[in-house]
């Protein structure tokens, strides 16, 4: 299933997200639960194999598009290999288009150990790390964003209450929180700067 | 926020899509969207998988941020993971078809002389062996009626949950009835669970069909192993579950409950199904904490102790209730 031709046209038409997927929360929760936790690994893989840092986010998004499209039809039994095969296919496709030859891509897949799926320990390790990373990400947020997020998510205040407490508009609170959440979502990315890797 | 529109963005770049996702996410922070905006949002989200990916990624981070609660300075025990006993992997006996049915209370009386009633109380479990070799295992608080004569094999799931291991007989199909819904075994192991007006059928092996009897032509679903059908009185939806999840769901047959990332609210509700001593969690933040672990069905005390240690919560006895607070 992962071997189907993948259109990696970077600016190309994006595929329709079926109504079904939107109303049915199934695909969404699968994506959040099974795919997103693998993002740090995915970004690590993409960074190693794609020199153009400026479009890594687009690349990642394209991988997710392909994964979601395939998963809507049938959920892969082993998510990790499926994710990386999808990423590899896109990468190969792109490298071919740009006439860059790279054998490393394939070799790297093996190096990552994604051929064998061991969800138990792997996920356990990710879970253990994630709280620590989450905390680190929280600490690196701009103070106002951090304050808004903590008041909302940890203290459970409403946006209105936070606005009153921080002395800013509700819109500003919402923007602070959204930016904070985006920053948390990105926490898997600066792998190159992480000492433990 | 005015960059958001419901128009087609066929040529949106992925970066734009991410920006739009962020705007929608910020809007959702201001409270529920007005109906108009809600529609706009749905149109926006449905445009492509790219839109879904961008928005869901933010939602994933948002859900993840819930775990920050664990970092509250006053709390002990940061990792919300509980392991009481090692969960052994359940082996599903390869044989017939297992159906799990969840039935909601309904009143249907089609009692014939050879219909027998069986029931379990809170925390009870009972295994029935039928003459044809089929087995029915009743979970806690369950009532069924069985009519198995030469001509037909029919079970009414009046309340609760049961595991069916059916020996297939093409001439005499095995039928489970719950309200206006019917499960027809096509050679099957399944679990049926009826709660709050919904019948949930999890197919473990073989094949089975779920129908709404008022109109089987329109409302029916053929299940394959791994399918979980949820049938209300008027509609059936089918989702897939992993073998692991199915096995966890059947852990009551081994006298244990297996939780994987269950919220404290769900886990206590599940414990309460089996015990007269009820656990009460009213604090919404506490209720959202998640638990992994395996607990003996009746080990309310152990469950409470572990929850105390892991979440740093207080547990107070009030009559037969144990109230958990921060």
List of chain B residues whose C-beta atoms are within 8 Å of the C-beta of residue A173: 29
Any chain B CB within 8 A of the CB of A14?
yes
DSSP-derived pairing of the beta strands B181-195 and B97-103: parallel
Is 90 exceeded by the pLDDT of residue A157?
no
pLDDT for residue B57 = 93
Per-residue pLDDT of chain B (326 residues; tens, 9 = 90+): 433 333 333 445 899 999 999 999 999 988 888 888 999 998 999 889 999 999 999 998 888 887 776 555 433 333 333 332 222 333 232 223 333 443 332 333 334 456 788 888 888 888 888 888 888 999 998 999 888 766 678 888 988 999 988 887 777 778 888 888 888 876 678 888 888 778 889 888 888 888 887 765 567 888 888 888 888 888 888 888 887 778 777 888 878 888 877 888 999 999 999 998 899 999 888 898 887 777 778 888 878 887 777 777 888 988 889 999 98
- B63 versus A124: which is more confidently predicted? B63
Any chain B CB within 8 A of the CB of A169?
no
CB of B172 within 8 A of CB of B153?
Answer: yes
Domains delineated in chain A: 1-117 (no CATH), 130-188 (1.10.10.10)
Q: Which residues pair with B228 in a beta bridge?
A: B202, B239
DSSP-H helix ranges across A74-150? 79-97, 104-111, 119-139, 143-149
Rounded CA gap, B71 and B78, in Å? 7
Q: Which CATH class is domain B97-245?
A: mainly beta
From the list B12, B62, B71, which residue is nearest A181 (CB)? B62
Q: Which of B177, B151, B149 is nearest to B164 (CA)?
A: B177
Rounded CA gap, B221 and B118, in Å? 28
Q: How far is A31 from chain B (nearest CA, A)?
A: 8
pLDDT for residue A25 = 64
Rounded CA gap, B174 and B102, in Å? 17
Q: Which of B87, B63, B130, B52 is nearest to B244 (CA)?
A: B87
Interchain CB distance below 8 Å, A153 and B68: yes
Token readout for B236 is: 């059936």
List of chain A residues whose C-beta atoms are within 8 Å of the C-beta of residue B237: 24
DSSP states of B92-159 as a string?
PPSSSEEEEEEE---------TTEEEEE--TT--EEEE-TTS-EEEE-SS-EEEEEE-SS-EEEEEEE
Rounded CA gap, B18 and B229, in Å? 35
List of chain A residues whose C-beta atoms are within 8 Å of the C-beta of residue B19: none
B109 class by beta-carbon count within 10 Å (0-12 exposed, 13-18 middle, 19+ buried): exposed
Q: Which residues pair with B146 in a beta bridge?
A: B116, B155
Token readout for B9 is: 């963005």
- Is the domain covering B255-325 a CATH 3.30.470.30 domain? no
pLDDT for residue B208 = 86
pLDDT in tens, A102-116: 445 555 555 554 544
Please tell me whether the overall predicted TM-score, pTM, comes out greater than 0.90 for this model.
no
Rounded CA gap, B117 and B131, in Å? 16
List of chain B residues whose C-beta atoms are within 8 Å of the C-beta of residue A128: 79
List of chain B residues whose C-beta atoms are within 8 Å of the C-beta of residue A149: 65, 68
Rounded CA gap, B150 and A2, in Å? 51
Where do we find the tokens 């007006």?
A: B197
Interchain CB distance below 8 Å, B14 and A184: no
A55: which DSSP letter?
A: G
> Which residues 24-83 of A have a C-beta within 8 angstroms of B?
24, 26-28, 31-33, 36, 57-58, 61-62, 64-66, 68-69, 72, 75
């Amino acid at each position: 299933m992962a071997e189907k031709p993948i259109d990696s046209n970077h600016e190309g038409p994006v595929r329709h997200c079926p109504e079904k997927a939107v109303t049915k929360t199934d695909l969404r929760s699968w994506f959040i639960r099974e795919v997103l936790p693998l993002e740090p690994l995915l970004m690590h893989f993409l960074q190693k194999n794609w020199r153009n840092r400026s479009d890594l986010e687009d690349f990642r998004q394209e991988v997710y598009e392909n994964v979601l499209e395939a998963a809507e039809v049938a959920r892969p039994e082993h998510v990790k290999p499926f994710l990386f095969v999808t990423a590899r296919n896109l990468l190969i496709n792109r490298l071919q288009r740009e006439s860059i030859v790279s054998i490393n891509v394939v070799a790297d897949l093996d190096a990552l150990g994604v051929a064998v799926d061991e969800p138990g320990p792997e996920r356990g390790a990710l879970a253990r790390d994630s709280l620590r990373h989450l905390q680190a990400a929280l600490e690196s947020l701009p103070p106002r964003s951090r304050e808004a997020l903590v008041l909302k998510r940890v203290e459970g205040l409403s946006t209105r209450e936070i606005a009153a407490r921080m002395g800013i508009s509700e819109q500003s609170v919402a923007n602070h929180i959204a930016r904070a959440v985006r920053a948390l979502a990105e926490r898997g990315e600066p792998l190159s700067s992480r000492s433990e890797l | 926020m005015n960059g958001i529109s419901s128009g087609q963005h066929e040529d949106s770049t992925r970066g734009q899509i991410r920006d739009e996702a962020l705007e929608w996410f910020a809007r959702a922070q201001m409270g529920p969207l007005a109906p108009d905006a809600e529609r706009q949002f749905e149109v926006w989200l449905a445009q492509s998988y790219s839109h879904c990916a961008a928005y869901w990624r933010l939602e994933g981070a948002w859900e993840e941020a819930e775990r920050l609660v664990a970092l509250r300075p006053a709390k002990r025990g940061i990792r919300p993971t509980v392991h009481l006993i090692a969960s052994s992997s359940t082996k599903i006996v390869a044989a017939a078809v297992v159906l799990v049915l969840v039935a909601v209370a309904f009143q249907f009386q089609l009692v014939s002389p050879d219909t027998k009633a069986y029931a379990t109380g809170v925390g009870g479990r009972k295994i029935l062996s039928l003459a044809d070799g089929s087995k029915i295992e009743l979970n806690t608080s369950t009532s069924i009626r069985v009519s198995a004569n030469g001509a037909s094999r029919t079970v009414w799931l009046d309340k609760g949950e049961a595991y069916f291991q059916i020996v297939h007989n093409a001439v005499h199909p095995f039928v489970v009835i719950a309200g206006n819904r019917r499960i027809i075994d096509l050679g099957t192991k399944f679990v049926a669970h009826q709660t709050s007006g919904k019948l949930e059928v999890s197919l473990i092996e073989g094949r089975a069909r779920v129908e709404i009897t008022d109109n089987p032509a329109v409302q029916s679903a053929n299940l394959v192993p791994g399918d979980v059908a949820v049938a209300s009185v008027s509609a059936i939806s089918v989702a897939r579950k992993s073998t692991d999840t199915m096995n966890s769901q059947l852990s009551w047959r081994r006298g244990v409950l297996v939780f994987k990332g269950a919220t404290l609210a769900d886990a206590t509700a599940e414990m309460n199904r089996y015990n007269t001593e009820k656990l009460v969690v009213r604090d919404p933040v506490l209720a959202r904490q998640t638990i992994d672990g395996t607990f003996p069905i009746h080990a309310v005390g152990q469950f409470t102790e572990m929850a105390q240690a892991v979440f740093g919560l207080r547990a107070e006895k009030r009559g037969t209730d144990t109230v958990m607070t921060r």
